Structure 1
Amino acid sequence: MDVWFIILISLSLCFCIKFLLHLLSNSTKTNQSKTGKLPPGPSPLPFIGNLHLLPKTTVDLRSFLRSLSLKYGPVTTLHIGSEPVVFVTSYSAAHEALVRNSAAFSGRPSIVPLSSVLSNNRKDIGGSPYGQTWRVLRRNLNSEVLHPARLKSYSLERKRILGTLVNSFNQCFLHGDQPVRVFDHIHHAVFSFFILMAFGDVNDSTIREVERIQAELIFNYDQFTVFCSWPRLGKLLFRDRWKRYSNILKSQAEIILPLIRARKKLKQEESKQSELVSYTDTLLDMRMNDDQDQEAGKLEEADILSLCSEFINAGADTSLTTLQWIMANIVKHPHIQDKLFAEIKAVVGEGAEEIKEEDVQKMTYLKAVILETLRIHPPSAFLVPHAVSEDAELLGYRIPKDTTVNFVTSLMGRDPKEWENPMEFRPERLLNRGENGEPDGVSDVTAYKMMPFGSGRRICPGKRLALLNLEYFVSNLVWNFEWKPVDGEGVDLSDKEEFLMVMKNPLRAHVSPRIK
């Protein structure tokens, strides 16, 4: 034990010395090569920069960045060690960077802990550097999975999952009108849909296994980022944590690889091919280069696993979080629920059993309710970190090449300079008005001064799918049930970070079937 202790202390001292020398070296290089006027910010201390100022939670960090923006403006700099990190808190500054100067701001930092950890350093779209790999992977997702014609092919699966969800709420009512924890019901429904999109027809027990392991990976990611920043030292110092991480990845492979192999086998048996094209099918067909060799450039199984895992969590977790925020606001504001129900009734008429996908396209107030939720409660407080690929300018400040830039989406939608009474939930503010003053539509989310899906070249490719799912499920839940707050409990709209920005106190409500 004494020998191991001496070795561990020696390694730690070596690491600390190396780290300090690296900081000193970087500081010199920064002064020499990153000259120019950086965006303003608090003065950094030697070696640690502004680390001592950073709060522990994302909620506190959001408030801290808001106070910095009031003092220094919408673009501020904090130093992490000797490295500058830029934070953008206004829509106008974000638009200038991500849309007007999209190419320069489309990179990723050399280490994106979230992406690297969750993909086990395999291929993914969210964290890939801006380049050929990213373009090929994103093009495949957009054209083969998220194309409008392909989204239409998943309509029957969406309807089937809705039926299961409606039945689960009905069963709760039949067993006594007790408050229901909404999250428990919608979690399985949302994850089921994305798992079916990823792997095709899968039985419910397997869906629950995939759902469980994906949730386990997500909820533990914060503990595992140390293996990206300091992989060797992390494995030595946090052996139990590394063992748990390895076991999760092993379990994930044991559950998901058989699903990938089953789709591969199905594709090889032409007479048994499925009518539903899954994300896995497109990845099995895809090649990363134009080599004439049929096997050259094909993705490895581990890469397909990583991409499917990213697709499930990026789609399901954000949709689930937003759906709960929408329903919470509908419960909290009965007049909004009444207005929404009236609009649905006007579109589909009395006695309709289901709100169809084509019906929701005619519901402007429904779209406004969803966008207003995304404005105040974007699923993530920040976009995935960007990095500039070349020296760039933003609002007159110089952003040196390779600088990390964070876009604070949770402050953009709450900016009092852009929004009147920004914390008031008022969907009417998003309705377009015709010449007679009556609502005549809702613009696309990119037309508003908020960025829940990002913008520019790195905009979320699943935006169209996310909005379709939210419109479909929200309209049907309001059409089928009346939602009321729990007496004496109300609805708490405070948030906390749990991978995404979720409700601090998950929604509980009385849910009763409507008599139509």
Structure 2
Amino acid sequence: MDVWLIILASLFACFSIKILFTLLFSSKTTKKNEPAVKGELPPGPPPLPIIGHLHLLPKSNIELRSLIFNLSQKYGPILTLRVGSKPVIFVTSYPIAHQALVKNSAIFANRPPIVPVSYVLSNKRKDIGGSPYGLTWRLLRRNLMSEALHPTGVKSYSFARKRTLETMVNSFKQCSQHEAVRLFERLHQAVFSLFILMTYGDIGEDALKEVEHIQYTFLVSYAEFSVFASWPRLGKLIYRNKWKRYTDFLRRQYDILMPYIRARQKLKQEKGKEVDLVTYTDTLLDLEISEGASNQGKLVDADVLSLSSEFINAGADTTATMFHWIMAYLVKYPRVQAKLFAEISQVVEQGAEEVKEEDLQRIPYLKAVILECLRMHPPNASLVPHTNTEDMELCGYNIPKNTTVLIGTSIIGRDPTVWENPTEFRPERMMGSSDDNSGEDVADVSSYKMLPFGAGRRMCPGYKYGTLILEYFIANLVWNFEWKAVDDVDLTEKEEFLIVMKNPVRAKVIPRIK
């Protein structure tokens, strides 16, 4: 069951009893619970009694995106759908999204009580993505930003990025020029191995594959288990076989990941601060959570497992998915690939084996290619749901406290009022000029009118690091090889946790460097 449907169905279940009481008893309750801010909700189609708009909701995010786009053409860039009596606000305009997430960042920094992805994948333990806005969330995010994703921490893992790149390049060098190579598996393995190394250290090739397999399998299976986020007790009774599979997954994940957490714990006890390389797990083992004076202490094992698992999945799956999309476009459009190679050639000496990380800032077209792909294919059709912590006005409409607000990033990125010919892949548009010879610097993703990583206090903390990985790997793959299409590259989307390619790209790999 799709995450959107789960979220909305959950809201329906929670508020259906309230509707019945409203119908059966006097209007005093309604008056008592009126929002403090006067005004109307954003417009939307007429709801049905009791169920609201549940009958309109499709099963997938891709279908929901089409529905919301069509509704926005009629009702405008901010609209309301109801689940029972509960309004859910959809935003399809960058200025309105910016007003909510940036100008009113603190108000919209909260999450709904249940975010199914977070609930299922973390097994109700601590995480960053789905946690409510508050002291614990701030502490967990600050630890991530100041340790693993701090420039010093990122630099300390440059050897790992270089080693991962060498492994990937060598695997492609072994391919025949006449062979059709499926790129996804190799790109996916490279990115996951890098994030696993950052999380648990060097655990060996076989262990890497085992961790990658359990993490990715669990990730793409979450939709099957989302029912336990909405109806945990009832779901266990009705879906007994599914509940068994879910608990088996959790048990297997624990059995696979916990030994590496224990190994880091033991290493820290033996070496203390003399550990050669600090992993993300190390920082979690040192972290102390304080929620009031009476509740202080280290994270428990289950929380360390949940947070380390989140770091791998949230970082690796998003990056690997974008990696695949970008390579698909480079294969489909030889002109773009040739232009990128030409720009790299102006920066890197002829015959050099590697495009170094310090060279990347001098390759603006590379950044433009990545930004254009993020515009057309953000990892998620919409951001993780936000809720507001107080009644407020947004774009002239009343948004009651604790309303679920959903930002349609994939619609914003293809808004024809903002982007000329939005379905056309044209990286030049990201260089500040339509002139193909423009040498202007390309700004950060947050400078453009799109929100693939969110904005404000809940913006993805790892987007800069993910962009670095993409730039480094893609620059070197284009520098080392020419990528030619075997057949027509199909850019059809499908939903597999993230929005991925329905038919993974195949290409011929022709070495450039002798």
Calculate the TM-score normalised by the size of structure 1. Answer: 0.92
Instruction: Decide whether aligned partners of structure 1 residues 18 and 496 sit closer, same or farther in structure 2, where only a CA change above 3 A counts.
Output: closer
Contact 1:58–1:496 (CA<8 Å) still a contact in 2?
A: no
User: In the alignment, which residue of structure 2 is the partner of 1:13?
Assistant: none
User: In the alignment, which residue of structure 2 is the partner of 1:99?
Assistant: 102
**In 2, Cα distance between the equivalents of 1:177 and 1:147?**
43
**In 2, Cα distance between the equivalents of 1:20 and 1:109?**
17
Query: Residues 375-430 of structure 1, C-alpha deviation per residue, up to 9 Å, x if partnerless?
Result: 00001111110001100111100100010001110001100000000011111111
**In 2, Cα distance between the equivalents of 1:67 and 1:178?**
43
Q: CA deviation at 1:292?
A: 10
Query: Residues 136-188 of structure 1, C-alpha deviation per residue, up to 9 Å, x if partnerless?
Result: 00000000110111101100000101111111111122xx6211110011111
User: In the alignment, which residue of structure 1 is the partner of 2:6?
Assistant: none
Instruction: Decide whether aligned partners of structure 1 residues 90 and 435 sit closer, same or farther in structure 2, where only a CA change above 3 A counts.
Output: closer
Q: CA deviation at 1:438?
A: 3.4
User: In the alignment, which residue of structure 2 is the partner of 1:308?
Assistant: 308
Q: CA deviation at 1:432?
A: 3.1
Instruction: Decide whether aligned partners of structure 1 residues 305 and 430 sit closer, same or farther in structure 2, where only a CA change above 3 A counts.
Output: same
Q: Does residue 77 of structure 1 match 2:50?
A: no
Q: CA deviation at 1:42?
A: 0.8
Q: CA deviation at 1:435?
A: 13
Within-5 A mapping of 1:47-196: 47-173=50-176, 177-196=178-197
Instruction: Decide whether aligned partners of structure 1 residues 26 and 408 sit closer, same or farther in structure 2, where only a CA change above 3 A counts.
Output: farther
Q: CA deviation at 1:496?
A: 1.0
User: In the alignment, which residue of structure 1 is the partner of 2:493?
Assistant: 495
User: In the alignment, which residue of structure 1 is the partner of 2:430?
Assistant: 430
Q: CA deviation at 1:276?
A: 1.5
Instruction: Decide whether aligned partners of structure 1 residues 26 and 352 sit closer, same or farther in structure 2, where only a CA change above 3 A counts.
Output: farther
1:452 alignment partner AA: P
**In 2, Cα distance between the equivalents of 1:331 and 1:450?**
25
Q: CA deviation at 1:271?
A: 7.5
2:477 alignment partner AA: L
3-state DSSP class of the match of 1:249?
helix
Structure 1 segments of 4 or more deviating over 4 A? 16-20, 26-32, 290-293, 433-437
Q: CA deviation at 1:457?
A: 0.5
Within-5 A mapping of 1:110-509: 110-173=113-176, 177-270=178-271, 273-289=274-290, 296-432=296-432, 438-486=438-486, 489-509=487-507
Calculate the TM-score normalised by the size of structure 2. Answer: 0.93
**In 1, Cα distance between the equivalents of 2:273 and 2:44?**
62
3-state DSSP class of the match of 2:174?
helix
Contact 2:136–2:290 (CA<8 Å) still a contact in 1?
A: no
**In 1, Cα distance between the equivalents of 2:22 and 2:216?**
38
Q: CA deviation at 1:36?
A: 3.5
3-state DSSP class of the match of 2:139?
helix
Instruction: Decide whether aligned partners of structure 1 residues 25 and 477 sit closer, same or farther in structure 2, where only a CA change above 3 A counts.
Output: farther
Query: Residues 356-377 of structure 1, C-alpha deviation per residue, up to 9 Å, x if partnerless?
Result: 1101111100000000000000
1:139 alignment partner AA: R
**In 1, Cα distance between the equivalents of 2:42 and 2:85?**
15
Contact 2:428–2:436 (CA<8 Å) still a contact in 1?
A: no
**In 2, Cα distance between the equivalents of 1:104 and 1:271?**
41
3-state DSSP class of the match of 1:483?
strand
Query: Residues 103-138 of structure 1, C-alpha deviation per residue, up to 9 Å, x if partnerless?
Result: 111110011111111100000000010100100000
Contact 2:61–2:495 (CA<8 Å) still a contact in 1?
A: yes
User: In the alignment, which residue of structure 1 is the partner of 2:4?
Assistant: none
1:328 alignment partner AA: A
Instruction: Decide whether aligned partners of structure 1 residues 17 and 111 sit closer, same or farther in structure 2, where only a CA change above 3 A counts.
Output: closer
Contact 1:38–1:397 (CA<8 Å) still a contact in 2?
A: yes
**In 2, Cα distance between the equivalents of 1:17 and 1:217?**
26
Contact 1:118–1:221 (CA<8 Å) still a contact in 2?
A: yes
**In 2, Cα distance between the equivalents of 1:453 and 1:139?**
18
Contact 2:390–2:400 (CA<8 Å) still a contact in 1?
A: yes
Instruction: Decide whether aligned partners of structure 1 residues 167 and 272 sit closer, same or farther in structure 2, where only a CA change above 3 A counts.
Output: farther
Query: Residues 444-498 of structure 1, C-alpha deviation per residue, up to 9 Å, x if partnerless?
Result: 1111100011000100000110110000000000011100111xx2111111111
Contact 2:135–2:291 (CA<8 Å) still a contact in 1?
A: no
Instruction: Decide whether aligned partners of structure 1 residues 80 and 30 sit closer, same or farther in structure 2, where only a CA change above 3 A counts.
Output: farther
**In 1, Cα distance between the equivalents of 2:311 and 2:13?**
41
Instruction: Decide whether aligned partners of structure 1 residues 345 and 202 sit closer, same or farther in structure 2, where only a CA change above 3 A counts.
Output: same
After superposing the two structures, state which structure 1 stretch, 20-29 or 261-270, moved more.
Answer: 20-29
Instruction: Decide whether aligned partners of structure 1 residues 356 and 26 sit closer, same or farther in structure 2, where only a CA change above 3 A counts.
Output: farther
Contact 2:15–2:86 (CA<8 Å) still a contact in 1?
A: no
Structure 2 regions of 5+ residues with no counterpart? 1-11
1:499 alignment partner AA: F
Instruction: Decide whether aligned partners of structure 1 residues 416 and 436 sit closer, same or farther in structure 2, where only a CA change above 3 A counts.
Output: closer
Q: CA deviation at 1:265?
A: 0.4
Q: CA deviation at 1:19?
A: 7.5
**In 2, Cα distance between the equivalents of 1:166 and 1:257?**
32
Matched positions, count: 496
Q: CA deviation at 1:515?
A: 3.5
RMSD: 2.2
**In 1, Cα distance between the equivalents of 2:164 and 2:397?**
50
Instruction: Decide whether aligned partners of structure 1 residues 395 and 335 sit closer, same or farther in structure 2, where only a CA change above 3 A counts.
Output: same
3-state DSSP class of the match of 2:288?
coil
3-state DSSP class of the match of 1:297?
strand
User: In the alignment, which residue of structure 2 is the partner of 1:21?
Assistant: 17
Query: Residues 253-290 of structure 1, C-alpha deviation per residue, up to 9 Å, x if partnerless?
Result: 00111101100100011279432110000001111129
3-state DSSP class of the match of 1:492?
coil
**In 2, Cα distance between the equivalents of 1:316 and 1:397?**
38
Contact 1:180–1:511 (CA<8 Å) still a contact in 2?
A: yes
3-state DSSP class of the match of 2:290?
coil
2:157 alignment partner AA: Y
